[in-house]
Amino acid sequence: MVSPSRGRVVAAALLVLILSMLEGLPVARAGKHLLSSRVARAEAAFARGRLPRGSAYAEAEGELLRVVVDGVGDVPPLQLDAPGWRERLAALAPRRRAAGSRPALVMKLDTAQRLETELQSVMREFDVWAFDAVNAPLRLRTLPVGTTLELTPSLYMPLGRTRIPYDLPWVLERRLAPERIRIMDAFGPDHVDATLRLAQAAGTYRTAPIERLLDETGAVSLRGHEGDILIIVGHVEQDSFVIRNASGNIVRSLPLEQIKAEAARRSASAIFVGCNSYCATGYNGLVAPISDIAVSQQLEGALKEATLGGFLSRLGTPDEPFVVTPDSLRANRTSIDFSVSRVSKKKAAAAAAGVVVVGVTASRWIEHGAPEESELDEPRPAPPKPGVR
Amino acid sequence: MTSAPGCEQALGAALVGVVELLAARRPAHLARLAAKYPRHAEQLRPGLTLGSDRHVVTSAELYDELAREGLEAAREEIRAILQSLLPRALRAKRLRLFAAIAGALTSAGVLSAALVGSRTMTIGGALSTFLAACLGLVAAYLEAPLTGPASIGSLLTECLELEANVNAAMLALHEARADLVRLRELVVEVNVICSKLRKIAVLGAITPATSATKAMLVLRR
């Protein structure tokens, strides 16, 4: 038999879920205001995941931060424009808790985005999670590139100011077709050892020099690579792959934008592996450069993965994760632009110089290439099952 | 030795060749350098950094040692290349001679067979032709590098030119003393020598290469 309080929680959860999905409609907003209270949303959040005791739900309303604490209830709202609110919020974490267990602070994505830069002290006491209308709550982590959402232990997405692509989990679960993957080496002819290592890691005949992507005029041309996933590994300076000879002089420079545009035109996917401007203009501190050896090793493991998510996750490690950065959220079924940054979590100050950026552009990483028109009419992928990951 | 202000220079692609050759030929010496200059330990590890390297070298002593070690490693590499490629070139030359002799015998044999009408001589002539063709093929195989249109003869010529460059660089290194700017230029020259030697070693099959690498190198040449 279901207890009345349990039933109330379940009903509230369903109500919030339905209203969240209808968010944006005037009737939904009105209904939400009348029928759904902050407490109900908190209960829904608590019900969605088996959160540790003492977890809290926070929601920004104007300059007020409303907080509900599990087992305590509604606490006096915090004034966001007054000093000390962070400390008061952090102080709501229960003092007595089991070893290794941290209470969760759950909030809606827009609240998390609004408070992004101010959650540092709070995150020392709480595991902070953010959720939106579609996606299950994602844990917030602080990386040198800023506050991020954890997709997998080695794949992150910056919190940013934009919504999470509704089909991001679906895209990450797409199966990779090994025969579609091509590794392009942009090391240049004077770096034979780097070429050897990449070829040994990536396997025979999957690799080719980047010159293969150039036409007679020297412009990037991906003709014949329609539907392929091109992983371009090389030395990046500013916004270009730069090939230098043994004297250190530039032999060739290929702007990433040019490759991205051509990839989009040819429905190919270009994944750029190379340090980006974080290296040159990033933070101060120690340097942890990424070499072709590390990339080759990571690539060898990543190529064994079956899905795009697994592939991107394996390009990073829990210590040096990759960050998926939505460039422009053209999150339709066939195309999504995002870039991936590899960062080091070991030392915050050291991380920027060790960043490897992987930019993924214009998809078709789907096994059978771009879907037919009829496929586009298929229903959208179902939202993930409720529950904190 | 002193460091000259304003002469700071970021390490990067211009040093990778030296470090890679040292890693292949003299790993213990490379490890000693990395231990002696811990600030540059990252740069003294093999591998191409995939981004701008903001580390700067202000030590003329490091440049000097790196250039010396690089030149010593280059000498070892040249020795190894010559030891491997010279006998191959000589073998190929002998085989070509035998092929030519077999070819000459064939033409004489065919003429005799035609005049005498001997079946045995005709078969012998055919076998001789076959042998000449086989010897020619083996010679071509020995003369060809792993990939590309060049022959091992051209690789040997390049290697000998690089040997002359090594000697010249060694002399220049003695004269450079503690001049940081000159030492840096010399390190870059040594890097070019080392990179070319690594390429010759791969093309000449001194270093094992995968088929994918062969394909890539073919396309680049």
pLDDT above 50 for A371: no
Whole-number percent of chain A with pLDDT over 70: 58
pLDDT at A41: 62
pLDDT at A165: 67
Task: Please tell me whether residue A303 adopts helix, strand or coil conformation.
Answer: coil
Six-digit token string for A208: 């080719």
Q: Which residue of B has its CA nearest to A242?
A: B51
pLDDT at A137: 79
Residue B147: pLDDT band with limits 50, 70, 90: low
pLDDT at A339: 43
Lowest mean pLDDT, pick from A17-26, A180-189, B201-210: A17-26
Six-digit token string for A173: 């679960």
pLDDT at B29: 92
pLDDT at A322: 66
**Which candidate from A208, A234, A237 shows the least CB-CB separation from B216?**
A208
pLDDT at A310: 83
Considering only residues 2 to 21 of chain B, which have any Cβ-Cβ distance to chain A shorter than 8 Å?
A: 12-14, 16-17, 20
The CA distance from B158 to A47, in Å, is 74
Cβ-based contacts under 8 A for chains A and B: 147
pLDDT at B165: 93
pLDDT greater at residue B185 or residue A152: B185
Closest CA to A281 of A325, A339, A238, A235: A238
Cβ <8 Å between A245 and B13: yes
Six-digit token string for A226: 């329609």
pLDDT at A358: 41
What pLDDT, in 10s, does the model give residues A274-316? Answer: 764 333 322 221 223 567 888 888 888 888 888 877 887 777 6
Lowest mean pLDDT, pick from A174-178, B59-63, B208-212: B208-212
ipTM above 0.90, yes or no: no
pLDDT at B70: 93
Tell me the mean pLDDT in the region B183-201: 90
Q: Would you give the DSSP letter of residue A346? A: S
pLDDT at B67: 92
Residue B124 to chain A, least CA–CA distance (Å): 44
Residue A27: pLDDT band with limits 50, 70, 90: very low
Lowest mean pLDDT, pick from A83-97, B10-24, B37-51, B107-121: B107-121
Closest CA to B50 of A176, A319, A296, A362: A296
Q: Which residue of A has its CA nearest to B24?
A: A193
pLDDT above 50 for A107: yes
pLDDT at A357: 40
pLDDT above 50 for B10: no
Optimal mutation site among B52, B188, B207, interface A, most CBs of chain A within 10 A: B52
pLDDT greater at residue B50 or residue B134: B134
pLDDT greater at residue B174 or residue A29: B174
pLDDT above 50 for A115: yes
Residue B34 to chain A, least CA–CA distance (Å): 16
pLDDT above 60 for A352: no
pLDDT greater at residue A165 or residue B45: B45
**Is residue B199 less than 8 Å (CB to CB) from chain A?**
yes
pLDDT above 60 for B175: yes
Cβ <8 Å between A235 and B216: no
pLDDT at B108: 73
Cite the DSSP H helix spans in chain B: 13-25, 27-36, 60-116, 119-143, 152-176, 180-203, 211-220
The CA distance from A258 to A265, in Å, is 11
**Is residue B84 less than 8 Å (CB to CB) from chain A?**
no
pLDDT at A229: 79
pLDDT at A152: 77
Lowest mean pLDDT, pick from A157-161, B58-62, B75-79: A157-161
What pLDDT, in 10s, does the model give residues B107-126? Answer: 777 777 777 777 787 778 78
pLDDT at B38: 87
pLDDT at B71: 94
What pLDDT, in 10s, does the model give residues A44-87? Answer: 655 555 566 677 888 888 888 888 887 777 788 888 888 888 88
- φ/ψ region of A255 (left if φ > 0, alpha if ψ in -120 to 50, else beta) reads beta
Residue B87 to chain A, least CA–CA distance (Å): 25
**Is residue B207 less than 8 Å (CB to CB) from chain A?**
yes
Residue type, A95: R
The per-residue pLDDT of chain A, averaged, comes to 68
Tell me the mean pLDDT in the region A203-222: 83
Sheet order of strands, A236-237 included: A236-237, A240-244, A250-255
What dihedral angle (degrees, nearest 10) is formed by the CA atoms of A51, A55, A56, A57?
A: 0
pLDDT above 50 for A353: no
- pTM beyond 0.90: the answer is no
The CA distance from A258 to B143, in Å, is 42
Tell me the mean pLDDT in the region A110-114: 88
pLDDT at A22: 46
The per-residue pLDDT of chain B, averaged, comes to 79
Whole-number percent of chain A with pLDDT over 90: 0
Question: How far from B172 is each of B72, B100, B158, B191, CA to CA, in Å?
Answer: 14, 47, 21, 15
The CA distance from A95 to A98, in Å, is 10
**Is residue B77 less than 8 Å (CB to CB) from chain A?**
no
Six-digit token string for A3: 């207890």
Tell me the mean pLDDT in the region B169-195: 88
Residue B167: pLDDT band with limits 50, 70, 90: very high
What pLDDT, in 10s, does the model give residues A329-351? Answer: 233 333 344 444 444 444 333 23
Residue A248 to chain B, least CA–CA distance (Å): 4
**Is residue A182 less than 8 Å (CB to CB) from chain B?**
no
Lowest mean pLDDT, pick from A256-260, B21-25, B144-148, B172-176: B144-148
Task: Please tell me whether residue A332 adopts helix, strand or coil conformation.
Answer: coil
**Which candidate from A185, A235, A246 shows the least CB-CB separation from B51?**
A235
Phi, psi of A328 (to 5 degrees): -140, 130
pLDDT at A37: 57
**Is residue B202 less than 8 Å (CB to CB) from chain A?**
yes
Task: Please tell me whether residue B202 adopts helix, strand or coil conformation.
Answer: helix
pLDDT at A270: 77
pLDDT greater at residue A9 or residue A213: A213
